[in-house]
Each structure stands twice: as C-alpha cells, then as structure tokens.
Structure 1
Amino acid sequence: MRTIPRRIVTGLRDGKSIIEQDEIVSNVSEHFPGLIISDIWSTDSTPAKFEEKVIENTAFPNTPKNGSYFRYVQIPPDKDLGVIVTEGEPHPLMHQTDTLDYIIIISGEIYLIVDEEETLLKAGDIVIQRGTNHAWSNRSDSPCIQLAVLLDAEKTEK
C-alpha cells in the first residue's frame, strides 16, 4: 500500500459534476520516524461548506469548532518508533481529544489502549472513539494504516 495517499476531489462547473483535483497529497508529515499523518480535508462548520480546507498536519489534532478532519495515518511498529512501555505505567502516547472519531483499520493490526483495557484491531475493524483517553500500540512488524474522520464534540461526564 502506498505511504502517501492520492486525493480526488469532485466539484461543479456550469452545473455539471467534474473532478477538480486528482493528485498525491502534499500535506504529509512525519512527527516520529515512520508515523505518517496527512489531514486530507477539513471543515470548519456544520453543515459543512464545499470549499477547500486542507490544513497543517499535527500529531494530535485540534479540530475546528463545529468542524471535522479527515485523516490518513500510518503507524509504524512500536519498536521502530522507539516507544518504551513500562509495566504499570500509562502508554507514553496516551492522549485525549474533544472529538468523536470514526476510525477504520485499512491494513495491518494495532492495539487500541484505553485507561482500563486494550483490544487488538485488524484490517476492516472500526472504532468509534468518543473523546476518551487512548493510545495506539503497533506490536507487529508491519505498519498499520488507518483512516479517521474526527468531528468536533462536547464532552459529557458520566
């Protein structure tokens, strides 16, 4: 699978649908070796507007108020990232965002870690990540590729 995705964007011209863009994505970042992130598209309102919104990639997203991100992520094996997990300690990449995330595992496998447990995800699995503290741990020998849609959300405590 290609490391950097191709993006095709449709539009309208004279009332007819067209392909406005067909290109390899140029906003790709590597925050850690092998951790490839590309924020493919972004919106800053609901309902969304059709104008182009490509944003700077960040390791941990700052989704626009009432907006969304569409994100491509390639996560290398933990050993290639230099991630060291200490027994009894939180995973060093634990984080939390104020977003509702729809995440699809495209290839490879990865562990989703939350405060109290973890689960192994494989290609085709879908995660609905609802603003919880979490981390990703790739304990395999191959990269894991995810696609994610992150929606701005408001936290509710239980």
Structure 2
Amino acid sequence: MDASIRLTVDGTEHVLDVDTRTTLLDALRERLGVTSAKKGCDHGQCGSCTVLLDGRRHLTCLALAVAYDGSEVVTASGLADGEDLHPVQQAFLDHDGYQCGYCTPGQVCSVVGMLDEVKQGHASHVTEDLEAEPDLTDDEIRERLSGNLCRCGAYRGILAATRQAATS
C-alpha cells in the first residue's frame, strides 16, 4: 500500500509516494538520492543513519517514512551555510574526527543534536548531579555519543572535535 508524504530535507520540500513499509533512510537514499545518511547495520545499532529529525537526532533506519509526514530532516550535508561549514563539521576536520568517513555524517549529526540536548539541560546516564547544569566531561561525551560507532576507531578525534564544537 502506498501513501503520499511530504518531507523537507536539507531545506528542500519533497512530496513522495512511498510504500508504507519504507524506512525514512530508504526514502532519503533511494527515492531522493540523499546519500549523507548511511546504511550501516540497518538495525539501529551503529548510528550511521543518524539525522536531525525536527531538530532532534534520530536513527532513520528504524523510522517508517510515513510516520514522519510533514517533518523536517537535516542531514550532515544540510548543516553547512553555503561554503561555511557548521562548527561541528569544521571541528571534525580540525581534529581528524574521521578515518574512512563512512560513519562521519551520522557522527556529525549526533554531535549537533547532543550539544543541543546539553544546552537544554538534558542529563545522561553518567550525569552525577541531575540538578546542576550538565558538565560536558569526556565521560559525558562518550556516553552521549555511545550510539554512534566508528569501525576505524577515530574516537580520539571525534572526542576532541566534540570538545571544540562545545566551546564554539
């Protein structure tokens, strides 16, 4: 069964007819040609497909496209302002927060979403004082980004990039 949905992806509105079983990831990649979100595990375990969905980080391989009719999707490709990179993108370049680059778009979107969560005062599982403003320690960063895996092991650069982006 097909359904018509409307998605705004990286600032461009799209109307699609999709099978109701189509994941948001497949709609982005196969129907719209948006390859920034990657298909890693296709089980919600690696984070390669992470995008910002209505401003919050989200795994697109687990999301049915029809459930997000009318939503705004921002991929790592949509974060830059023309030629000016988003501070998180720049930090990843500055600190070699990538190696093969496959996980990088998901990592970047996750860091952007995580930093917004911190600004809103959201605690993590390792936050000791739930009443205080979150302190973005290395342990906090690691916990908050634990859903994004890097097969190459570029975690040192990702951690440094996150620290830099948090202070910009």
Q: Which bin holds the TM-score, normalised by the shorter protein?
A: under 0.3
More helix by percentage? 2
More strand by percentage? 1
TM-score by length of 1: 0.26
TM-score by length of 2: 0.25
